[in-house]
Structure 1
Amino acid sequence: MRAIWKGAVSFGLVSIAVRLYSATEEKDIRFHQVHREDGGRIKYKRVCSIDGDEVSYDDIAKGYDLGGGEMVILTDDDFADLPLTTSRAIEVLEFVPVEQVDPILYNKAYYLEPEQTAAKPYALLRDALTNTERVAIVKVALRQREQLATLRVRENVLVLNTMLWPDEVRAAKFDILDEDISARPAELAMAGSLIESMAADFEPSAYTDNYREALQEVIDAKVAGREVVQPEEAEEAPAAAVDLMAALRASVERARAARGEAAPAAEEAAEEEAEEPTPIKKTAAKKAPAKKAAPAKKTTAAKKTTAAKKSA
């Protein structure tokens, strides 16, 4: 690796001379624009949009678009007076708990290698960060720009992570999430089962860029003049289920089948119980109070007998 920057970490009154190296590299396959007929490279000229003349690099300045066709032109003299430190120093501002730094702020990563004379203070800062479980918040001038960054430890090496400024992170504002949306307990339980069935330790080396590998195969085949072997098509994903519980259950079964696992009997019973509707309690109807029996009416024959006795 080639060092892209040399300077020092300013840690209180301690100065640690370091070299900066890019910790990552993009593996994307890059292409040039060429003429389809003969493979000639396509070149672009720097042409002024007003007079049509080609412009040399010496005559190019920076312009800030105000809108409405107005442009403010800035020269090297305008940039010379800006408060950008020219010292090659990584200034430690404070030490914060690692969990307080939102990963969304991280931008690029660089390794710090100590100069031969700075190995001991380098190890001191590295071990102190490890023991306290904190990261150093620093400021550094890189590529004509002042940047906020962190110093942390990775595999026994100090890593400088440049960060976005807080106003460079967009607010996540989605009206649909302002609504009161919540999952049912049964759905949460099933989602938990799905997570557990897919739980694993993260091994970055287990993942590969299949598209890049296939594209490289196409390029190699072109160079060798052989036929390109089409990769096997991936298994089509099943159609999305309309019912959320059905989709979760199918996902759990699929994940377990891939691992050769079976659902625990206790869990199956819990899932069935979660799906059963709550029984409606029947309230016994109250009996109406019994009515008193009305006195029996005398019949016509009884009335005649009573009249005959009276006449006698």
Structure 2
Amino acid sequence: MRAIWKGAVSFGLVNVPVRLYSATENHDVSFRQVHREDGGRIKYKRTCSVDGAEVAYDDIAKGYETEDGQMVVLTDEDLADLPISTSREIAVDKFVPIDQIDPMYYDKCYYLEPDKAAVKPYVLLREALTQADRVALVTVSLRTRMTVAVLRVRDDVITLQTLLWPDEVRQPDFGVLKEAGDEVKPAEQAMAQMLVDSLAGDYEPDEYEDDYEAAVKALVKAKVEGGEVKAAPEEADTGGEVVDLLAALQQSVNRAKESRGEATDDAKPAKKAPAKKAAAKKAPAKKTAKKKAS
């Protein structure tokens, strides 16, 4: 694993230098859009929805769309005035019971690894969390934004799990449930409870498998072994945006010359001149052939 962030956990007067690692990874099966004929990847251009012109990276800005559909363009100067935090501190605010935090608020999870010189205070914090059966409520700055998170222990490792803001959790409002009332009969409720008791058990993650991912991998493997692979030609290194910009400038120059009736760079016959000279040199050979025939 590769550390994505370095900082320190601070609680009281104790400071624990740590490194942050992503605790999870996404194994969702993803497909690429390709050309059916040769397997080449499909590319998309950055075009403006107003005039249809292709837009260079330097001309792309950030825009915020309001609720009524209006677009507000934000400049670099506007963004520079926003409250951005670059703190490298994971500050413990308080220790709270874990059952006070609804699992709905949990977001991304990370592992915390201590520096070699900070193993002792790391273990001290870990054991304190375990014995108190609480989690540490902290604030941390990730990607220049301050967020709230919790520190908890998993497999003798302290994990940091970010929390969603309260307004990011939607509130359900289903009228059909309110209209249902007391339609469930006691006998039906008792039977449902018997069903729950008959299927009671413990959660074992290894009992479940992503059969879709396994099926896709088996399908791909079978096609590879059967030779059903389209080797798309390697794309030439065009230098990225610079070449696109040069091509756009060249087209603009050609259009300007065409409007003035001048020859464009694409119509220059300079490369065909040597071919005409070669043809002129072959003329004496034909005369010599006539003399030999007489």
TM-score (structure 2 length as normaliser)? 0.73
CA positional deviation for 1:128: 0.5
What is the aligned partner in structure 2 of residue 221 from structure 1?
Answer: 222
Gaps of 5+ in 1: 228-312
Decide whether the 8 Å contact of 2:151 with 2:158 is kept in 1.
Answer: yes
CA distance in 2, matches of 1:37, 1:226: 16
CA positional deviation for 1:182: 4.9
1:39-78 equivalent positions in 2, closer than 5 A: 39-66=39-66, 70-78=70-78
Count of aligned pairs: 227
CA distance in 2, matches of 1:156, 1:43: 46
Decide whether the 8 Å contact of 2:23 with 2:109 is kept in 1.
Answer: yes
What is the aligned partner in structure 1 of residue 124 from structure 2?
Answer: 124
User: Residues 77 and 12 (structure 1 numbering): CA distance in 2 closer, same or farther, change over 3 Å?
Assistant: farther
CA offsets 1:166-200 (integer angstroms, 9 cap, x no match):
11111111112223235322222211211111111
What is the aligned partner in structure 2 of residue 199 from structure 1?
Answer: 200
What is the aligned partner in structure 2 of residue 18 from structure 1?
Answer: 18
Aligned residue type for 1:218: L
CA distance in 2, matches of 1:133, 1:114: 21
Is the aligned partner of 1:156 residue 2:156? yes
Gaps of 5+ in 2: 229-294
CA positional deviation for 1:67: 6.0
User: Residues 101 and 184 (structure 1 numbering): CA distance in 2 closer, same or farther, change over 3 Å?
Assistant: same
User: Residues 122 and 175 (structure 1 numbering): CA distance in 2 closer, same or farther, change over 3 Å?
Assistant: same
Bigger RCO of structures 1 and 2 (CA < 8 A, at least 6 apart): 2
Decide whether the 8 Å contact of 2:86 with 2:144 is kept in 1.
Answer: no
User: Residues 39 and 81 (structure 1 numbering): CA distance in 2 closer, same or farther, change over 3 Å?
Assistant: same
User: Residues 152 and 182 (structure 1 numbering): CA distance in 2 closer, same or farther, change over 3 Å?
Assistant: farther
1:96-245 equivalent positions in 2, closer than 5 A: 96-179=96-179, 180-225=181-226
Partner secondary structure for residue 96 of structure 1: strand
Aligned residue type for 2:91: E
Aligned residue type for 1:120: K
User: Residues 220 and 181 (structure 1 numbering): CA distance in 2 closer, same or farther, change over 3 Å?
Assistant: farther
Greater mean alpha carbon deviation, residues 104-113 or residues 192-201: 192-201
CA positional deviation for 1:48: 2.3
Q: CA RMSD in A?
A: 1.8
CA distance in 2, matches of 1:14, 1:172: 42
CA positional deviation for 1:146: 2.1
CA distance in 2, matches of 1:24, 1:163: 16
Aligned residue type for 1:130: T
Judging by fraction of residues, say which structure has more helix: 2
Aligned residue type for 1:217: A
What is the aligned partner in structure 1 of residue 268 from structure 2?
Answer: none
TM-score (structure 1 length as normaliser)? 0.69
CA offsets 1:74-106 (integer angstroms, 9 cap, x no match):
123222222222111112111110000000001
CA distance in 2, matches of 1:187, 1:226: 58
CA distance in 2, matches of 1:131, 1:3: 28
CA distance in 2, matches of 1:71, 1:172: 29
Decide whether the 8 Å contact of 2:19 with 2:112 is kept in 1.
Answer: yes
What is the aligned partner in structure 2 of residue 83 from structure 1?
Answer: 83
Partner secondary structure for residue 222 of structure 2: helix
CA distance in 1, matches of 2:159, 2:68: 45
CA positional deviation for 1:37: 1.3
CA distance in 2, matches of 1:182, 1:142: 49
CA offsets 1:233-264 (integer angstroms, 9 cap, x no match):
xxxxxxxxxxxxxxxxxxxxxxxxxxxxxxxx
Aligned residue type for 1:167: D
Percent of residue pairs identical: 61
Decide whether the 8 Å contact of 2:85 with 2:144 is kept in 1.
Answer: no
CA positional deviation for 1:68: 6.1
